[in-house]
Amino acid sequence: MARKNHALSDEGSMTTALRNALFARFPARTGRYWNVLVYSSAYLSLIAMAEVVIVSALLSLPPSPAAVVVGLVVFAVYTNDRLADVDTDAVSNPEQAAFVRRYRDELYVLASIAYGLAVALSVIGGPIALAITLLPGVFWVCYATDWIPGTGVHVRRLKDVFLVNTIVVAFAWATTLTFLPLAFADGTVTIPTLIVFAYFFLRVFTNTEIPNVRDIDGDREIGVLTIPVMFGVERTRQILTGIDLCTVGLVVAAIHIGYLSALLAFPLLVGISYSLGVTSLIGRYENERLLAKAAECEYLVAFVALTFVVLLS
């Protein structure tokens, strides 16, 4: 009996050791997967696909490859942007810069394949869909580089120009998110379409400037002028809160005039309420990196709210 108990004890010890080893590996593996998802910009692709679903619901558009195309384009553009800015990002975001340097070749290949697939799929939607798919890439060249392809001429990159940098990003993505699914559906531009475009323009503007609070020291050092660099953290919080409230006004006005149903407007208002909560923490929450990631999840919050609305209606 004693020998049996000793054997059971040994077996229990082995089981405990194995369990501890597995749990010790789990966080490390989870951390690696998280780094790949975040530092490669893959998570932004998922968010962008959710945004396209929201647009399609708001404009009553049929399912199409638009969400996949936008997801691929977002991955390609943001991955290339991180590759181009890896040296300057070493100041403001050293962990991401280290990841990009380590997997530079793989990221180049994946970004190229992603944009190639996006362009190939966009052909299904016709020439307008193709042009819209190419638009973010063209804007990125002007935004992130200081040369004009084929000319050898160097100009000031738009990323360094105050307000123009954020406006370019907001315009490019609002255009792509709104008009690409419309192009796939052969739809026409209506007032509700323009309202949806304005909504995403304001949302992208806000969510572009929130990460700039985290990067304020690095941006100031390399000469990139953003709202936090120009006005400081507290004034930035006030400005972005004002933009959030303007977006609320836009949605409420659209409901009142009859261009947007209250049922479909509800997820948008939920998302903006979430954004107001995140914006209120600017300068008051120490983990600015986490705050920036939380801001980007606004669309996921709106997507979840939209899913509940659809299921319950």
- To the nearest 5 percent, what fractions of the chain are helix, strand and coil? 80, 0, 15
Which pLDDT tens digit goes with each residue over 197-213? 999 999 999 998 998 88
Query: Per-residue confidence at 10, pLDDT binned at 50, 70, 90?
Result: very low
Q: What Cα–Cα distance (Å) separates residue 10 from each residue in 15, 113, 150?
A: 9, 53, 72
- Say yes or no to pLDDT of 42 above 50: yes
Q: Cα(162)–Cα(165) distance, rounded to whole angstroms?
A: 6
The Cβ of residue 240 has, within 10 Å, a number of other Cβ atoms equal to 25
Structure tokens at 289: 């990196």
> What's the pLDDT score for residue 14?
46
Q: What is the DSSP string of 166-203?
A: HHHHHHHHHHHHHHHHHHHTT----HHHHHHHHHHHHH
Q: What is the mean pLDDT of residues 167-195?
A: 94
Q: What is the mean pLDDT of residues 31-47?
A: 80
Task: Write down the pTM of the prediction.
Answer: 0.82
Q: What Cα–Cα distance (Å) separates residue 219 from each residue in 159, 211, 214, 262?
A: 10, 11, 9, 41
- Say yes or no to pLDDT of 15 above 70: no
Q: Cα(136)–Cα(258) distance, rounded to whole angstroms?
A: 32
> What's the pLDDT score for residue 96?
80
**In the block, which residue shows the tokens 């609305």?**
309
Q: What Cα–Cα distance (Å) separates residue 260 from each residue in 83, 162, 288?
A: 40, 34, 35
- Say yes or no to pLDDT of 250 above 80: yes
Query: Per-residue confidence at 64, pLDDT binned at 50, 70, 90?
Result: very high
- Say yes or no to pLDDT of 145 above 80: no
> What's the pLDDT score for residue 115?
94
- Residue partners of 275: CB distance under 8 A and separation at least 6: 203, 206, 207, 244, 295, 298
- Say yes or no to pLDDT of 59 above 80: yes
